[in-house]
Amino acid sequence: MKKILKYDLIAGLSVFLVAIPLCLGIALACGAPLISGLMAGVIGGIVIGLLSDSHLSVSGPAAGLVAIVLVGITELGSYSAFVAAVTLAGLIQICMGVAKAGKLTRLLPHSVIEGMMAAIGIILILKQYPIFIGQNADTGHHLMIIGLGVFSLVLLFTWDIFFSHRLKFIPGSLIVVLIGIVATLVLNMTMYRADVDHSYFVQIPAINSLTELTSLFIFPDWSTLTNPLLYKTAIVLALVASIESLLCVNAIERLDPEGRHTNKNRELIAQGAGNTLSGLIGGLPITSVIVRSSVNLNAGAKSKASAVIHGVLIILVLFLGSALMNHVPLVSLSAVLMFTGYKLAHPKHFITAWKTSKIDFMAFVLTATIVVLNDLLVGVLAGIAFYYTLLQLQKTYQRTDQVKPT
């Protein structure tokens, strides 16, 4: 038992180091309060970690939901209205788990899911570009921001290519954030100190007590229950979060050295409980996340204790590390998100779809295009309909061709 806990402690620390920049960065990309990302990380680690049947997957705010959050906040008019949708989405997920809907993801074409993820990557890049180039900053700040951004992005690519496999416990995102903090501290000690604009940095209030933490909660605006868009947002969140979570759990399950399997219906209930609680206190929506889960696996985790440990460490940051976090430049997080977007929309995904079949490629491209230009739900539904229509036409053509007289 002690040996297992030792591995889980190391893995929990490794996941924590990855989670901090991603929790902050995804909140930034969503246009949500930065602390909402950290609160979602705590709930994803502790609550879902305890309730989930998965031994290795780790949950938290996900890049795959950024597009939905952006649209949801805009359509509903406020973040408090949006977290009402998150709460409802969690309840829908619980109902899905009770109804044993965990196997329905098998009906979803892989090419459509990949197309959706590629589109989310493109959206991430497009949304972060203004922050990355220091839009609206004066000339001096603009040059510093874009310089740090380019350096951070180059470092992320370099780390991924040359060092990530040899130094699995040290994520490139952490290196970028630490360099951003050092650059800020150096800047504060130079003649530019008086010119530093705090709007270019993470801003998390100092938290010294549980009362101060709870004062930061953003509670759902239940007056929006009469707004049909609330239910549309909740349903989309529930479906996409469930799909992403189950796909992640399936992927990690296949890599589990002990060959353990996860009860998918229980996973939906766990994810639903996490999202319900996250919505009630103003946190971002949560899914099981492949990046955190992969780090957890590679770090040698043995049980779900590592996910819980990473959540506890995020709590410690909330109480003890806010002063340090406020030295993180937003452009550093922007670079992390742009790199994440590139990985999601990597050209290899287009090539894989092309090599699989023409139907898969067309469904992939159609889904990605509609999601970027229109709406995530519309894009996914169009991709599914297009895929199965072409598949049926292909089968009909093959049957017709077989019965032709010779």
Burial of 313 (0-12, 13-18, 19+ CB in 10 A): buried
User: Does a structural domain hold residue 176?
Assistant: yes
Q: What contacts 138, CB < 8 A, 6 or more positions away?
A: none
| Rounded mean pLDDT, 142-159 | 88
User: Does a structural domain hold residue 96?
Assistant: yes
Burial of 51 (0-12, 13-18, 19+ CB in 10 A): middle
Closest by Cα among 273, 275, 302, 263 to 68 = 275
User: Does a structural domain hold residue 88?
Assistant: yes
User: Does a structural domain hold residue 402?
Assistant: no
| Rounded mean pLDDT, 202-221 | 86
Q: Are strands 286-289 and 58-61 parallel, antiparallel or unpaired?
A: antiparallel
Gap between the Cα atoms of 26 and 30, Å rounded: 6
Closest by Cα among 346, 381, 359 to 120 = 346
User: Does a structural domain hold residue 261?
Assistant: yes
- Six token digits for residue 361: 């490629």
| Residue 113 clears pLDDT 90, i.e. is over it | no
Of 401 and 176, more confident: 176
- Six token digits for residue 402: 């077989």
pLDDT of residue 404: 61
Domain that holds residue 199: 2-346
Question: What band does 15 get if pLDDT is binned at 50, 70 and 90?
Answer: confident
pLDDT of residue 17: 79
> Would you say how long the chain is, in residues?
406
Sign of the Cα pseudo-torsion (73, 74, 78, 81, in order): negative
pLDDT in tens, 332-349: 888 888 888 888 888 998
pLDDT of residue 343: 85
| Residue 197 clears pLDDT 80, i.e. is over it | no
Percent with pLDDT over 90 in the chain: 36
Of 174 and 281, more confident: 281
pLDDT in tens, 36-80: 999 999 999 999 999 998 888 999 998 778 888 998 999 999 999
Q: In this structure, what are the phi and psi dihedrals at residue 287, rounded to the nearest 5 degrees?
A: -140, 170
Round the average pLDDT of the chain to a whole number and report it.
85
pLDDT in tens, 232-291: 999 999 988 998 888 888 878 877 888 888 888 999 999 999 999 999 999 999 999 877
User: Does a structural domain hold residue 224?
Assistant: yes
User: Does a structural domain hold residue 292?
Assistant: yes
pTM above 0.85, yes or no: no
User: Does a structural domain hold residue 391?
Assistant: no
| Rounded mean pLDDT, 288-301 | 80
Collapse the DSSP code of 14 into the 3-class scheme (helix H, G, I; strand E, B; otherwise coil) and give the result. Answer: helix
Of 169 and 62, more confident: 62
As for how many domains the chain has, the answer is 1
Question: What band does 194 get if pLDDT is binned at 50, 70 and 90?
Answer: very low
| Rounded mean pLDDT, 74-89 | 95
pLDDT of residue 101: 86
The tokens 């795959």 sit on which residue? Answer: 64
pLDDT in tens, 358-376: 999 999 999 999 988 887 7
